Structure 1
Amino acid sequence: MSAAPDEVEQPDAGARVSGTDRMTAFSDGVFAIVITLLVIDLRVPEYHEGELLSDLLDEGASYLAFVVSFVYVGVLWLNHHALLRLIRGTTLMLSWINLGVLFGVVIIPFPTSVLASAFTQGDTDDQRAAVALYALSAALMSAPWLVFFGYLRRHPVLLRRGVSPEYVRRQLPRPITGLVLYALGGLLGWFVNPLLGLLAVIFMIIYHAATSEGLPRWLTRR
């Protein structure tokens, strides 16, 4: 009997392996919704005649928070797209892990809104708390990516032809780096300076953008 269209053959005994089409479509839909929700917090300021430009400039922190998070979600989507290209099928457990990845994505609009509010209306203490919250959210987001790579390493049958478990192993430092450095960025923002903490977060977003197709071999040689 031939396999169903949304299934791939499972050469080993164990959990049933299904195709990735539904997981990919659902994930892309979540990313699209999240990146759209970010714009909701952008608003036309209340202004008096002749003061529109000044009031728009006063909302500059909100616009910056939107741009940072828009790029962040875009980078996450690129990384997620590259991740799904590694696999030929998914199991129920891997689908649950993917939901963990998406959970980290859908919470981004909240710390973005807090960050924008703190830098437009709050004092330094508020800004410290906002940067720490944003960095902590980003750090926690790295955890399910680490689990995803770890699961693929233990279940190489799910990998596409030409993708080796060794390649997957070499990618494990990426989410580990995210966990550690985002957390350090949060501590830097809380204890030293919120702007420095925010710059550390932006640096990590750039790092994940530069490594969206994976870490090069020369960086992971032992």
Structure 2
Amino acid sequence: MKANRMEAFSDGVLAIIITIMVLEFKVPDGHDWHALLGLGPKVLSYIFSFVYVGIYWNNHHHLLHMIRTLNGRLMWLNLILLFWLSLIPFTTAWMGESHFAPAPTALYGVILLLAAISYQLLQLAIINQHPGDSAIFKSMGRDWKVKVSPFLYLIAILTAYVSPWVSGFFYVLVAAIWVVPEKRIEHFLKGQ
């Protein structure tokens, strides 16, 4: 199997995740603008999650272009990542329904943390396909975003019980760190 098949499958799963999230919206009872106000927390949690899924889609796309040989290990690591991402619609809905109550907000972070760890494992497996003295191996081994994100997620999970807004700040911070795909991957791909 070629890596583009795994990428196409992943793209389909991510598209379904986004579709499931938007289907959680129910039409409000009223027929004026005021009726939409009750959807505020749901819309905000949807925006969070849409951005996160988009960031994963974008970075995942770049990462898969570094694969030299697709094997069963990479396929399983990719499936584990997709598993955690597939739980985002559930936590998104619960967080929005509960108006960012502590437990749903913390669980949202747990899912994001597990997805981040899965992404890190996939990235490490792909990087290890390259020689230890290669530029991509050396530069990606020092990837600060992969190292700092789990720490920030842990802070977000813990602060969810203090203030969901503080927790949300850390979720936004991690998203801001990852919104631009890894430039070292682009430089590596241009050099091939």
Give the aligned residue type for 1:189: A
In structure 1, what is the equivalent of residue 170 of structure 2? 200
The TM-score with structure 2 as length reference comes to 0.87
Query: In 2 relative to 1, CA 180–112 (structure 1 residues): closer, same or farther, beyond 3 Å?
Result: same
In structure 2, what is the equivalent of residue 65 of structure 1? 45
In structure 2, what is the equivalent of residue 55 of structure 1? 35
Provide the secondary structure at the position in 2 that maps to 1:133: helix
* Unpaired runs of at least 5, structure 2: 187-192
* Unpaired runs of at least 5, structure 1: 1-17, 120-125, 217-222
Asked if 1:186 corresponds to 2:160, the answer is no
Q: 1:168: how far off?
A: 2.7
Q: Distance in 2 between matches of 1:137 and 1:215?
A: 26
Give the aligned residue type for 2:139: Y
Asked if 1:25 corresponds to 2:12, the answer is no
Could you tell me which of 90, 112, 121 is aligned with 1:138?
A: 112
The TM-score with structure 1 as length reference comes to 0.76
Q: Is the 8 A contact 2:24 2:93 kept in 1?
A: yes
Q: Distance in 2 between matches of 1:103 and 1:174?
A: 22
In structure 2, what is the equivalent of residue 46 of structure 1? 29
Could you tell me which of 133, 136, 153 is aligned with 2:127?
A: 153
Mapping of 1:102-181 within 5 angstroms?
Answer: 102-119=82-99, 127-156=101-130, 164-171=136-143, 173-181=144-152
Q: Is the 8 A contact 1:19 1:88 kept in 2?
A: no
Let me know the Cα RMSD of the aligned residues: 2.3
The structure whose RCO (Cα within 8 Å, separation 6+) is larger is 2
Q: Distance in 1 between matches of 2:29 and 2:184?
A: 46
Query: In 2 relative to 1, CA 203–164 (structure 1 residues): closer, same or farther, beyond 3 Å?
Result: closer
- Per-residue CA deviation, residues 22-64 of structure 1 (Å, 9 max, x unaligned), is 11111111111111111011111123xxx63222112111111
**Paired residue total:** 185
Q: 1:211: how far off?
A: 4.5
Query: In 2 relative to 1, CA 214–37 (structure 1 residues): closer, same or farther, beyond 3 Å?
Result: farther
Larger radius of gyration: 1
Give the aligned residue type for 1:188: T
Provide the secondary structure at the position in 1 that maps to 2:70: coil
